[in-house]
């Protein structure tokens, strides 16, 4: 059994959305890069603070006078790596009691208020992503709301210890470092240094936040622009597709009026050129179609009088002489008349369908009377039928056109039937559809001709059993009438029910049933 081919279709808009989805990985990669850089900078700041508090402890142990003089001079910033405008120094005795405090921790957020807009955007973006992604911003040391006790305890044990002070929302306020104060190898107290996070956020980190903010804004602007551009192109292609679809009627013919050449828009690009070229192509097709429609009428008008004169001349010659070629000439004239009549019939039916109006009629009753009369009037069909459609079943359409369709189907079945079994017609309803099947025994359809035989001027006859000219318009008329009734027509090779050993062909017409209104 051959594998069914899987048809998967992605529109331009869907493909672009998938591309944008892939591009959204970039912000997360940038966020991961920011996390690592943030951790590196905070680690460096923590190391610097640790070295600062250790250096201050050594100054206090070895040069107490120098340390005190700098404090008293009112310019404590001369101490290395220390800014007492945003930090505090605590001196703790051996019992853990604070004996001296210098510096201050301001409560104003003036530094934050003076940040550039892109720096603020970058910082808020990283914090927002930190709440979405299941890990928080990296702080390399433990956090606590009251870190003093633990810091002093570790410092009095001779350790250098660091910890973050957190607020109620678990955001870091400051970083604290503590180390022991020694005198002759004895621990006499501890030195604690606390710095606000604004002081730890160096200019390098703010520059990085600024780059993140600028990158985020660029990515947002490019994404919005790409979305609008893609949506515009996609909508224009969809409008063009709908305009082309509305250009053709149910029978696949061009309407008299089709879409304008160019829309009044500010753009003039490849889609506009495509619209213009399709408009030109449709104009040429419309002209060619008008020519083909007028051709049968023109032929009938122009050839009518010469054919009549030729027919009269042949009749006169037949009276005067008995030449064997006269019969052949008269038969050729009749064939020409039949060709012109067939072309005119197809054109007139198509015009009738274009101008016709549909109305509900009982398809079951109509088919019963038609098939019953066909058995009486055309015994050469050798027709059998089974009509199980109820008399109150309605369809929207034209009953006269349905009769013409059945005429063509039965005539086609009779022409190709080999006479081994009768022509069989089955009419029934199934899931809201009216189905008409016409079966005949005879040669099978060539492969690939199941749909092609319904095109105009297509015939697969190897010979004309009735010595008449056939232009392949019969089944084409069946297709036109079926499409007018919003139905479908198909042909297939079958094994006949009456004798499964005999090959045959089945024509199936499917028409939509009119839904009955509920009381």
User: What is the pLDDT, as a whole number, of residue 223?
Assistant: 79
User: What is the pLDDT, as a whole number, of residue 508?
Assistant: 93
Alpha carbons 209 and 184: distance in angstroms, whole number? 47
Using alpha carbons, select from 258, 43, 208 the residue that is nearest to residue 141: 43
Count the Cβ atoms, other than its own, within 10 Å of residue 287.
11
Q: What would the pLDDT profile of 451-461 be if each residue is shown by its tens digit?
A: 778 876 556 55
Diameter of the chain measured on Cα atoms:
156
Domains 14-214 and 358-512 share a fold: no
Question: For 114-247, where are the E strands, in sequence order?
Answer: 143-144, 161-166, 172-183, 186-196
Alpha carbons 340 and 453: distance in angstroms, whole number? 21
Alpha carbons 407 and 309: distance in angstroms, whole number? 32
Query: Are the CB atoms for 489 and 507 separated by under 8 Å?
Result: yes
Query: Which of helix, strand or coil describes residue 424?
Result: strand
- Which pair of structure tokens corresponds to residue 413? 């079945």
Sequential pLDDT tens for the chain (519 residues): 444 555 566 666 677 778 777 777 776 777 677 777 777 777 887 888 888 888 888 877 776 666 666 555 555 545 545 667 778 888 888 888 888 787 777 765 545 556 678 888 877 777 776 666 654 455 555 566 678 888 888 888 888 888 888 777 666 778 888 998 888 788 888 888 888 876 766 566 677 778 878 888 888 888 788 778 778 888 888 888 888 888 876 656 677 666 776 655 556 777 777 888 888 888 788 777 777 667 666 666 666 677 777 777 777 777 777 776 777 777 677 767 766 666 666 666 666 666 667 888 899 999 998 999 888 888 888 899 999 999 888 998 888 888 888 988 998 888 888 888 889 999 999 888 999 999 998 888 888 777 778 876 556 555 444 555 555 677 888 888 888 888 999 999 888 776 777 888 999 999 999 876 444
User: Helix (H) and strand (E) counts for the chain?
Assistant: 13, 13
User: What is the pLDDT, as a whole number, of residue 266?
Assistant: 59
Query: Which of helix, strand or coil describes residue 79?
Result: coil
User: What is the pLDDT, as a whole number, of residue 1?
Assistant: 42
User: What is the pLDDT, as a whole number, of residue 135?
Assistant: 47
User: What is the pLDDT, as a whole number, of residue 64?
Assistant: 65
Count the Cβ atoms, other than its own, within 10 Å of residue 278.
17
Full DSSP string of 82-146: --TTSEEEEEEETTS-EEEEEE------HHHHTS-HHHHHHHHHHHHHHHHSSS----SS-EES-
- Which pair of structure tokens corresponds to residue 232? 């515009």
CA separation, residue 394 to residues 15, 250, 356, 399 (Å): 46, 21, 18, 11
Long-range pairs of 145-149 with CB within 8 A, sequence gap ≥ 24:
147/176, 148/176, 148/192
User: What is the pLDDT, as a whole number, of residue 155?
Assistant: 87
- Which pair of structure tokens corresponds to residue 154? 């570790």
Count the Cβ atoms, other than its own, within 10 Å of residue 154.
18
Q: What would the pLDDT profile of 249-264 be if each residue is shown by its tens digit?
A: 665 667 766 677 665 5
CATH topology of domain 14-214: Beta-Lactamase (3.30.450)
CA separation, residue 39 to residues 35, 175, 208, 447 (Å): 6, 14, 13, 72
User: What is the pLDDT, as a whole number, of residue 18?
Assistant: 80
User: What is the pLDDT, as a whole number, of residue 509?
Assistant: 94
User: What is the pLDDT, as a whole number, of residue 518?
Assistant: 46
Alpha carbons 213 and 118: distance in angstroms, whole number? 5
**Domain 358-512 listed as CATH 3.30.565.10:** yes
Tallying the residues shown for the chain, one arrives at 519
Domain ranges (residues) in the chain: 14-214, 248-355, 358-512
Using alpha carbons, select from 6, 234, 25 the residue that is nearest to residue 242: 234
User: What is the pLDDT, as a whole number, of residue 510?
Assistant: 94
């Amino acid at each position: 059994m051959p594998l069914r081919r899987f048809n998967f279709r992605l529109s331009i808009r869907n493909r672009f959305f998938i591309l944008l989805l892939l591009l959204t990985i970039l912000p997360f990669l940038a966020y991961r890069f920011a996390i690592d850089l943030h951790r590196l900078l905070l680690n460096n700041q923590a190391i610097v603070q640790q070295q600062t508090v250790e250096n201050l402890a050594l100054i206090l142990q070895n040069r107490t006078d120098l340390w005190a003089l700098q404090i008293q001079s009112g310019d404590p910033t001369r101490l290395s790596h220390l800014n007492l405008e945003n930090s505090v120094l605590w001196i703790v005795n051996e019992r853990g009691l604070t004996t001296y405090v210098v510096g201050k921790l301001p409560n104003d957020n003036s530094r934050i208020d003076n940040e550039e807009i892109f720096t603020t955007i970058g910082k808020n973006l990283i914090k927002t992503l930190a709440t979405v992604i299941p890990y928080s911003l990296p702080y390399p040391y433990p956090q606590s709301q009251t870190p003093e006790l633990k810091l002093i305890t570790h410092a009095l044990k001779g350790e250098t210890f660091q910890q973050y002070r957190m607020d109620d929302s678990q955001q870091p306020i400051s970083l604290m470092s503590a180390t022991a104060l020694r005198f002759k190898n004895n621990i006499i107290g501890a030195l604690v240094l606390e710095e606000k996070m604004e002081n730890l956020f160096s200019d390098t980190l703010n520059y990085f936040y600024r780059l993140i903010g600028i990158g985020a804004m660029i990515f947002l602007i490019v994404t919005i622009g790409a979305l609008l551009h893609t949506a515009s192109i996609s909508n224009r292609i969809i409008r063009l597709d709908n305009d082309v679809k509305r250009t053709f009627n149910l029978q696949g013919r061009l309407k008299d009026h089709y879409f304008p050449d160019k829309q009044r828009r500010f753009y003039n690009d490849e889609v506009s050129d495509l619209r213009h070229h399709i408009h030109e192509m449709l104009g040429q097709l419309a002209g060619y179609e008008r020519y083909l429609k007028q051709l049968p009428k023109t032929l009938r008008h122009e050839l009518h009088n010469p054919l009549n004169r030729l027919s009269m001349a042949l009749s006169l010659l037949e009276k005067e002489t008995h030449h064997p070629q006269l019969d052949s000439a008269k038969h050729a004239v009749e064939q020409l008349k039949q060709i012109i009549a067939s072309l005119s019939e197809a054109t007139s039916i198509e015009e009738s369908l274009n101008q016709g109006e549909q109305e509900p009629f009982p398809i079951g009753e109509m088919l019963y009377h038609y098939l019953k009369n066909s058995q009486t009037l055309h015994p050469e069909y050798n027709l059998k039928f089974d009509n199980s459609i109820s008399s109150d079943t309605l369809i929207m359409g034209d009953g006269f056109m349905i009769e013409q369709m059945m005429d063509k189907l039965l005539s086609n079945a009779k022409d190709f039937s080999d006479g081994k079994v009768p022509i069989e017609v089955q009419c029934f309803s199934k899931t809201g559809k009216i189905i008409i099947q016409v079966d005949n025994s005879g040669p099978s359809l060539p492969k690939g001709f199941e749909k092609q035989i319904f095109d105009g001027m297509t015939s697969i006859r190897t010979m004309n059993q009735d010595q008449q000219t056939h232009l392949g318009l019969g089944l084409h008329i069946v297709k036109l009438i079926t499409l007018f009734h919003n139905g479908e027509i198909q042909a297939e090779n079958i094994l006949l029910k009456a004798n499964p050993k005999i090959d045959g062909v089945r024509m199936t017409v499917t028409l939509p049933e009119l839904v009955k209104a509920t009381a």
